[in-house]
Amino acid sequence: GGALYLVPTPIGNLDDMTFRAIDVLNQADLIAAEDTRNTQKLLNHFEIETKQISFHEHNTQQRIPELIARMQQGETIAQVSDAGMPSISDPGHELVNAAIAADIPVVPLPGANAATTALIASGLAPQPFMFYGFLPRKAGQQQQVLNELKNEMQTIIFYESPHRLGKTLAAMQEVLGDRQAVLARELTKKFEEFIRGSLSELTTYANEDARGEYVVLVAGKTPDALPDLSSDDDLKQAVADAVA
Ligand code: SAM
């Protein structure tokens, strides 16, 4: 029978494509891609000849019935976005819900994702965490969301484009206070870099030279009750305690 496969693609480094993702794309009847030209480069690289159909935020309503009908006729469809996991700040969610409603199996593949990749090297508490994605662009709406997040105790993960980064970090500082935060830049790529500091320090950085792709991670409201082992003084004390 038909099925919907959700296939992650690399977020920069093509070697992060999984063997299974290649296999599923090869064997699918059709690939539903956010940008078929972009995905074609990936398919060429891995010598995958499966045909594609566009599936993006502007044709979702039109495409879903068509894709569901194909799967009901027994086709397997692999959905991909431009990078990383489908549905995560990318198209996919509505198609997943339609497939669930139509009793079509939905099969997710694990793989590249900018948020969790950034989180595990950030040094911020890995759990609990919340993924927000892109904040609203309009200042008023953005401020409202930040206000709602103000008492959040979890590490919060955002996506942001480089040209809005400075402004967004400044807004975060204004509403959340000058918390610790991390910018994870160009993950899996040549210029991968982690910039750690307070929101005001990171704002200064971003206003000077924000280039490439960034994940923004912000510490939750309550500071860790445990000693902060990334601070020299706390670490010295903890080591002294340990040998005492
Ligand atoms: N679906 C993707 C995922 O699973 O991570 C996210 C797609 S979203 C449209 C694109 C945003 O993800 C970028 O603006 C950036 O914030 C983040 N991003 C994607 N790739 C990245 C990378 N290599 N390094 C840092 N951030 C990245």
State in Å: Cα 45 to ligand 1 middle.
21
Instruction: Give distance in angstroms: CA of 181 to centre of ligand 1.
Output: 17
Provide residues with CB under 6 Å of ligand 1: 11-12, 81, 83-85, 88-90, 113-115, 159-161, 184, 186-189, 213-215
Three-class SS of residue 157? strand
Query: What is the residue type of 138?
Result: K
What local confidence, expressed as pLDDT, does residue 228 receive? 66
Beta bridge partners of 182: 196, 217
Which residue stretches of the chain are H helix?
19-27, 36-45, 60-72, 93-101, 114-122, 139-149, 165-176, 199-209, 232-243
Query: Using CA atoms, how far apart are residues 34 and 69, in angstroms rounded to an integer?
Result: 19
Residue with tokens 């059709």: 30
What pLDDT, on the 0 to 100 scale, is given for residue 60?
A: 97
ipTM at complex level: 0.99
Looking from the CA of residue 158, the nearest atom of ligand 1 is 16
Give residue 164's identity as a one-letter amino acid code. R
The Cα–Cα gap between 71 and 78 comes to: 11
Number of the ligand 1 atom closest to the C-alpha atom of 185? 25
pLDDT of residue 226: 58
Per-residue pLDDT at 225: 54
pLDDT in single tens digits along all 244 residues of the chain: 899 999 999 999 999 999 999 999 999 999 999 999 999 999 999 999 999 999 999 999 999 999 999 999 999 999 999 999 999 999 999 999 999 999 999 999 999 999 999 999 999 999 999 999 999 999 999 999 999 999 999 999 999 999 999 999 999 999 999 999 999 999 999 999 999 999 999 999 999 989 999 999 999 997 555 566 777 877 888 888 888 8
pTM of the model: 0.91
Q: Which residue, 135, 161, 1, is CA-closest to 68?
A: 1
Out of 96, 159, 161, give the residue to mutate to test ligand 1, the one with the largest number of ligand atoms within 8 Å of its CB.
159
CB under 8 Å to 115, separation ≥6 — which residues?
A: 88, 131, 157, 159, 215
Alpha carbon distance 20, 32 (integer Å): 17
Sheet of strand 76-80, all strands in order from the earlier edge strand to the far edge: 52-54, 30-33, 76-80, 3-6, 106-108
* Partners of 185 in the β-ladder: 193, 214
For residue 159, how far is its CA from the centre of ligand 1 (angstroms)?
Answer: 7
What's residue 230's pLDDT? 77
CA of 13 to the centre of ligand 1 (A): 12
Burial class (CB in 10 A: 0-12, 13-18, 19+), 138: exposed
